[in-house]
Amino acid sequence: MARIGVTGLGTMGAALALNMADRGFDVAVHNRTEAVVDEFMEGTGSLSDRFTPVKSLEALVDALTPPRAVLIMVKAGDPVDAVIDALVPLLDKGDLIIDAGNADFNDTRRRTARVTDEGIGFLGMGVSGGEEGARHGPSIMVGGTEDLYRPVQDIIEAIAARYQDDPCAAWLGPDGAGHFVKTVHNGIEYADMQFIAEVFGILNASGRSYADQADLFAEWNGGPLQSYLIEITAEILRARDSETGAPVLDVIVDKAGQKGTGRWTVIEALKLGQSATAIEAAVAARSWSAEADARAKAEETYPTGTTRMSHVLDGDLEKALLAARMIGYGQGFALLSAASRHFDWSLDLARIAEIWRAGCIIRSSLLDDISSAARDGLPHDQLILAPGIAPRLADAVEGLRRVVLASMEEGVPVPGLAAALSYFDTYRRARGTTNMIQAQRDFFGRHGFERRDRDGTGFHGPWAESD
């Protein structure tokens, strides 16, 4: 009998199942298209004895030791509901379903309630690290009740990445907490990727060769920017297309895909009254990228000419990326705090930063500092105010400012970097300019305002006196 079942042997499900077998667990494997199970088994090599291949969900359930645990790793959305609907009648009370795909946490909350009503446990589990991570150690963010997590904790921790022996897996809170944290992780990932893409654009506009840029990113990866995304950027800049021999970046269409997690982050931020503008800029840039024909027409209408940037220092670009990264993480953590309060999740922000230190796409040396800062408590829930972060941000942000200014002068697009800088500049003013907004609202709608010199609400401006 197998300890756990996996249904959905696509990229991620197959990799996770192999990872479990590698760690010594017996796994029953199933896939909607039966032939995929055979293909999977052909690739299991010396691990084949660990697997029980099955061709139906009934057989999957029969192959498991009760109380059963079935991990679903299918396409996000309706397919997850379809698999749950098919599984629930086959399971017994006390069995457990784990959805390890990228679910909208609102769906996870709904599915948790639906499955729990039938006496079956449900965990919503975010998995980050792509195929490689899933195969050899992802970062794993679990939501559900803690008592449901304990029986599978050994499997989940065993397959997770390790940061200095600490497994990058944790139970984070009830129902949708794991998938919410995974969503915000992806939002931060969107922002970080966008910042890097913008710096790539600036370096191109400065006439720097890909080889030169690759060296620069590789050098940055040895400093405070050390991270998976900076590391792969250097590799990508060096890579050549195997068919044409051209730099691979030159053969790729500038149209970025998205599956929803970045957009969900922004939507949830807005619902919670939060600002995730750097993440929003990254989502917007991907959306605009899809409008290739309109962009071609716009370039014809407003020609850019040849852009030649010459006055941006490498050190400023490094600082710009660091400052923007801190602000991107800051917006993500502020959102996590807001969600934790709103849903009463008691999220451990330090633990979240810790389990992102290895295995996941946004792993970076900065996360070690972020986890220490969060452990000490974030002033006003703001990472950018943490004593361990603030002096470094104050230094780096001036590089960000110079880079944004120089780019804007030349018309080189930097929507993500500029959003990060604007957020910083807006946030660090004790007295902003929304007094004007309040005056306008009162002028046209008698909404009332608060006064600086008196307690209370509902004061009106002189324009109301003539009524």
CA dihedral 28→34→40→44, nearest 10 degrees, is 50
Report yes or no: 332 and 180 within 8 Å, Cβ to Cβ: no
Contact between 83 and ligand NAP by CB under 6 A: the answer reads yes
CB atoms within 10 A of CB 448: 15
Contact stretch for ligand NAP (CB under 6 A) within 78-86, 192-200, 313-321, 447-455: 78-86
Q: Which is nearer to ligand NAP, 193 or 419 (CB)?
A: 193
Other CB atoms within a 10 A radius of the CB of residue 432 amount to 11
Q: Does 139 bind ligand NAP (CB under 6 A)?
A: no
10 is an annotated ligand-binding site residue: yes
Q: Is 33 in the site for ligand NAP (CB under 6 A)?
A: yes
Asked whether position 8 contacts ligand NAP by CB under 6 A, the answer is yes
**Using the rule CB under 6 A, which residue among 55, 255, 259, 428 binds ligand NAP?**
259
Residue 76 binds to ligand NAP (criterion: CB under 6 A): yes
CB-nearer residue toward ligand NAP: 129 or 399: 129
Q: Which 100-129 positions form the footprint of ligand NAP (CB under 6 A)?
A: 101-102, 127-128
Stretch of residues binding ligand NAP (CB under 6 A), selected from 6-14, 47-55, 283-291, 398-406: 6-14
Say whether 189 is catalytic. yes
Q: Least distance from C-beta 5 to ligand NAP, angstroms?
A: 14
Question: What minimum distance in Å lies between the beta carbon of 7 and ligand NAP?
Answer: 7
| Interaction between residue 181 and ligand NAP (CB under 6 A) | no
Name the catalytic one among 131, 157, 182, 219: 182
Q: Is 242 in the site for ligand NAP (CB under 6 A)?
A: no
Is 55 known to be catalytic? no
Q: Which of 39, 93, 189, 299 is catalytic?
A: 189
286 known ligand binder: yes
**Rule CB under 6 A: which residues touch ligand NAP?**
8-13, 31-33, 36, 73-76, 79, 82-83, 101-102, 127-128, 130-131, 259
Give the residue numbers annotated as catalytic, written as ranges.
182, 189
